[in-house]
């Protein structure tokens, strides 16, 4: 018998503490080895994928924050400078560094030059000529690591794009330099060294640029500098132009302080073969400048193209505009082939030289054989600051040229006096006011130079052939008679 306070066994309280019992379904699933293995693999794959994405995001962030990339297009002048700089030998810096910085893809750039020899004995010539080849190895396409200096490495990626230049079909190329952000200040050193190296390769040479596809391109290989003394102009002309150009180069601050556009223009006019272009080339060599050449009579040269080119002149170069009279005459009449002439107009030329969009820091030389066809607006100060006539050969020029070719042989100047006397008798110095029997003729310095080059080392031959300097007039040939034998086409 139970007491009044005794509890009935069926009414005993349920324990409230202890572990919670899992769902029978989950127990069944997790007890299944197939499900447990698949769930584990899926969880592991998700964790790996999430970790990989996080790693890639972190790496990308670090690259953006710690690295700097510089992309150089092939159209930029520094492209070839940097390639030459990368090809220079460097200190490998240890075993591991030498293995990491090895270049396994290389390209070769070959330049050739002809070296001729001449021996003239008794008027007989012995000519020999050899060809010299210069091979320069530079990085090919691919990725490289370059040791710039201890502790500083530069990643290099040279690649060829799938796109190409429309006009030439040449594929685009890019060169990308990568280095740590903390070393970004060294980029200026890299480009400075590359530019200095390129200048050393062109030492003693004159670079000639030509207009092509809306930009300046190097025309062939750099030419050997022509000595200024090899161009013989009339007395005082060469000296006055050289002095004026050098004074202009040293007066940039003077122009800036007075708000005057820093540019200077020169016009050389006269008959063909008198040395206008040769003098400009020699002047560029004297100043260590290049020559940026535009022929206004060339097809495809428009007002817009000319204005763009004149604002993008290569550094340290002389602008040469040949045949400026071609832009001053009416060339709209169509020829038999349908060509209506160049599209450079007189107003376009004037605006390019001295208009609102005209560039500064410019030395421009204009040449023409027909100064009478130039508009007065072209030759006003500001566009043309100095005009010089480069005319026919004078007695002074002929004497200077003789000394340059035969000075070592003609030590007493007896040959020179005979040659000058012969030219005077032929009237090639414009006649003689005291002797009406002497004809009035003229010859060019180019003709005299050709005579001397034909008679290398032979003074007597040059004197005897002086009559060949008389300008010749060619008459049209008469029509061939019926039945005449004609050469095959």
Note the pLDDT of residue 278. Answer: 92
Boundary residue ending a domain (389, 414, 431) = 389
Contacts of 368 (CB under 8 A, 6+ apart): 267, 268, 269, 323, 324, 325, 374
Say yes or no: 262 and 296 in one domain.
yes
How far apart (Å, rounded) are the C-alpha atoms in residues 376 and 356?
19
Say yes or no: 385 and 429 in one domain.
no
Say yes or no: 380 and 416 in one domain.
no
Find the CATH number of the domain harbouring 286. 3.40.50.300
SS3 208: strand
Say yes or no: 378 and 455 in one domain.
no
> Is this model's pTM higher than 0.85 or not?
no
Say yes or no: 324 and 400 in one domain.
no
Say yes or no: 274 and 368 in one domain.
yes
Say yes or no: 237 and 380 in one domain.
yes
Boundary residue ending a domain (135, 167, 201) = 201
Residues 396, 238 contacting (CB under 8 angstroms): no
Note the pLDDT of residue 420. Answer: 93
Q: Count how many domains the chain has.
A: 3
Among candidates 445, 276, 470, 294, which has minimal Cα distance to 369?
A: 276
Which residue ranges in the chain fall short of pLDDT 50?
1-4, 6-12, 14-21, 121-126, 330-334, 338-339, 489
How far apart (Å, rounded) are the C-alpha atoms in residues 194 and 221?
19
**Cβ atoms within 10 Å of 413's Cβ, excluding its own:** 15
**Domain assignment of residue 218, yes or no:** no
Note the pLDDT of residue 224. Answer: 86
* pLDDT tens profile 107-128: 887 766 665 555 554 444 445 5
Say yes or no: 337 and 433 in one domain.
no
CA 480 to chain CA centroid, nearest Å: 50
Residues 366, 321 contacting (CB under 8 angstroms): yes
Direct distance between the N- and C-terminal alpha carbons of the chain, in angstroms, rounded to an integer: 147
Render 211-273 in DSSP notation, one character per residue: EETTEEEE-SSPEEPPPGGGS--STTHHHHHHHHHHHHHTTHHHHHHTT---EEEEEEE-STT
**Domain assignment of residue 360, yes or no:** yes
**Domain assignment of residue 359, yes or no:** yes
Say yes or no: 321 and 430 in one domain.
no
Note the pLDDT of residue 279. Answer: 94
Boundary residue ending a domain (389, 414, 438) = 389
Say yes or no: 341 and 195 in one domain.
no
Say yes or no: 123 and 86 in one domain.
yes
The domain containing residue 448 runs over which residues? 395-469
* pLDDT tens profile 135-188: 777 788 888 888 888 888 888 888 887 776 655 566 788 889 888 888 888 888
Say yes or no: 238 and 194 in one domain.
no
**Domain assignment of residue 191, yes or no:** yes
**Domain assignment of residue 279, yes or no:** yes
């Amino acid at each position: 018998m139970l007491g009044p306070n005794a509890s009935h066994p069926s009414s005993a309280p349920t324990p409230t503490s202890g572990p919670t019992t899992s769902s029978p379904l989950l127990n069944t699933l997790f007890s299944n080895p197939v499900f447990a293995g698949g769930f584990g693999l899926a969880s592991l794959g998700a964790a790996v994928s999430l970790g990989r994405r996080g790693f890639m995001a972190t790496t990308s962030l670090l690259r953006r924050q710690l690295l700097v990339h510089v992309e150089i297009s092939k159209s930029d002048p520094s492209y070839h400078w940097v390639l030459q700089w990368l090809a220079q030998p460097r200190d490998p810096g240890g075993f591991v560094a030498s293995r990491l910085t090895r270049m396994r893809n290389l390209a070769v750039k070959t330049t050739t030059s002809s070296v001729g020899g001449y021996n003239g004995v008794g008027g007989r010539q012995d000519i020999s000529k050899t060809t010299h080849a210069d091979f320069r190895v530079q990085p090919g396409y691919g990725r490289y690591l370059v040791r710039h200096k201890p502790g500083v490495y530069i990643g290099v990626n040279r690649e060829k794009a799938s796109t190409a230049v429309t006009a030439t079909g040449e594929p685009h190329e890019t060169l990308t330099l990568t280095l740590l952000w903390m070393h970004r200040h060294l980029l200026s050193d890299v480009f400075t060294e590359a530019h200095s190296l390129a200048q050393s390769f062109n030492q003693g040479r004159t670079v000639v640029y030509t207009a092509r596809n809306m930009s300046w391109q190097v025309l062939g290989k750099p030419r050997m500098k022509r000595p200024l003394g090899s161009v013989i102009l009339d007395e005082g002309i060469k000296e006055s132009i050289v002095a004026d150009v050098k004074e202009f180069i040293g007066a940039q601050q003077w122009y800036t302080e007075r708000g005057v556009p820093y540019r200077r223009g020169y016009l050389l006019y006269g008959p063909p073969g008198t040395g206008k272009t040769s003098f400009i080339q020699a002047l560029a060599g004297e100043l260590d400048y290049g020559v940026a050449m535009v022929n206004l009579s060339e097809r495809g040269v428009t007002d817009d193209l000319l204005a763009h080119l004149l604002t993008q002149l290569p550094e340290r170069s002389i602008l040469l505009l040949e045949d400026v009279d071609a832009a001053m005459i009416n060339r709209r009449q169509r020829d038999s082939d349908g060509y209506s002439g160049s599209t450079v107009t007189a107003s376009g030329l004037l605006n390019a030289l001295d208009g609102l969009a005209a560039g500064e820091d410019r030395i421009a030389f204009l040449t023409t054989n027909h100064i009478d066809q130039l508009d007065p607006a072209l030759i006003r100060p500001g566009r043309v600051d100095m005009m010089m006539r480069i005319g026919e050969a004078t007695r002074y020029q002929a004497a200077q040229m003789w000394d340059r070719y035969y000075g070592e042989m003609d030590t007493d100047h007896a040959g020179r006096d005979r040659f000058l006397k012969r030219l005077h008798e032929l009237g090639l110095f414009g006649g003689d006011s005291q002797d009406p029997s002497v004809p009035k003729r003229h010859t060019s310095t180019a003709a005299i130079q050709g005579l001397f080059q034909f008679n290398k080392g032979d003074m007597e031959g040059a004197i005897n052939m002086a009559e060949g300097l008389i300008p010749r007039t060619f008459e049209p040939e008469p029509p061939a008679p019926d039945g005449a034998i004609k050469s095959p086409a």
